[in-house]
Amino acid sequence: MSEINTTQNNYPAYPGTPLRVGSSGNNVRIMQQYLNGLGVVYTAVNRLSTDGKFGAATQNAVIRFQKQFSLSADGVIGQNTWNAIVAVYLSVAAYRPVDVTTKYPGVISAGSSGDHVRFIQSYLNAVRRQYNYTWPLLTVDGRFGANTALAVAGYQSSYNLSVDGKVGRNTWASMIPEFNKVIKM
């Protein structure tokens, strides 16, 4: 097993070469462990096998991380993404989660799918859990179905927004800061 370079604070230092699909080894394993650790708060980031092999699942987790923190969403762990993953992981470990800065993607509604639906599901679950709201607990699967529409409508009603079950600009603009607030409680 090769050595992992660390900074003087004993955190894993960027290895100098980007990690991407096809990469393998200890540095990939460390990033998989860190992504799993921060996924406790940022549940839209999929759980990973910590096998040290950078495959599609790791790439998807990296992209989801990058999108939530306004990084270039290329699925590659270059120096900026490496440093961001380490910083967010350490903040979660210290019970000081970092605010997401997920950009508004346009209206999302029933039938939509993808990462932004995962983010909505994750954010709604966190708010629901914090305040014991009664809208459905959502499976974070990236598919905007009936339960997600009900949860969005419940959120909208609870926050005095126009209730239509769609995530438009106003709902998004409310949901992001509310999620950021509840992860710090």
- By residue count, the chain amounts to 185
Per-position DSSP letters for 39-63, written without gaps between them: TTTSTTSPP---SSB--HHHHHHHH
**If 0-12 CB within 10 Å is exposed, 13-18 middle and 19+ buried, where does residue 132 land?**
exposed
> pTM of the prediction?
0.91
| Residue-level pLDDT at 12 | 86
Phi then psi dihedrals of residue 144, to 5 deg: -85, 90
d(CA 18, CA 76): 7
**Per-residue model confidence (pLDDT) at position 6:** 42
Q: Look up residue 37 and give its two tokens.
A: 């650790």
Beta bridge partners of 19: 77
pLDDT of residue 1: 28
Measured CA to CA, the distance from residue 75 to residue 77 in angstroms comes to 7
Q: Residue-wise over 32-41: b if at least 16 C-beta within 10 A, else e? A: bebbbbbbeb
Predicted local distance difference test score (pLDDT) of residue 159: 97
Those residues of the chain that have pLDDT short of 50 are 1-8
Q: Which domains does the chain have, with CATH numbers?
A: 1-98 (1.10.101.10), 115-182 (1.10.101)
Instruction: Say if residues 84 and 99 touch (Cβ distance below 8 Å).
Output: no
- Closest to 50 in 3D by CA, of 39, 58, 38: 58
- Nearest CA to 142 out of 43, 41, 9, 72 is that of 43
- The answer to whether 35 touches 61, Cβ cutoff 8 Å, is yes
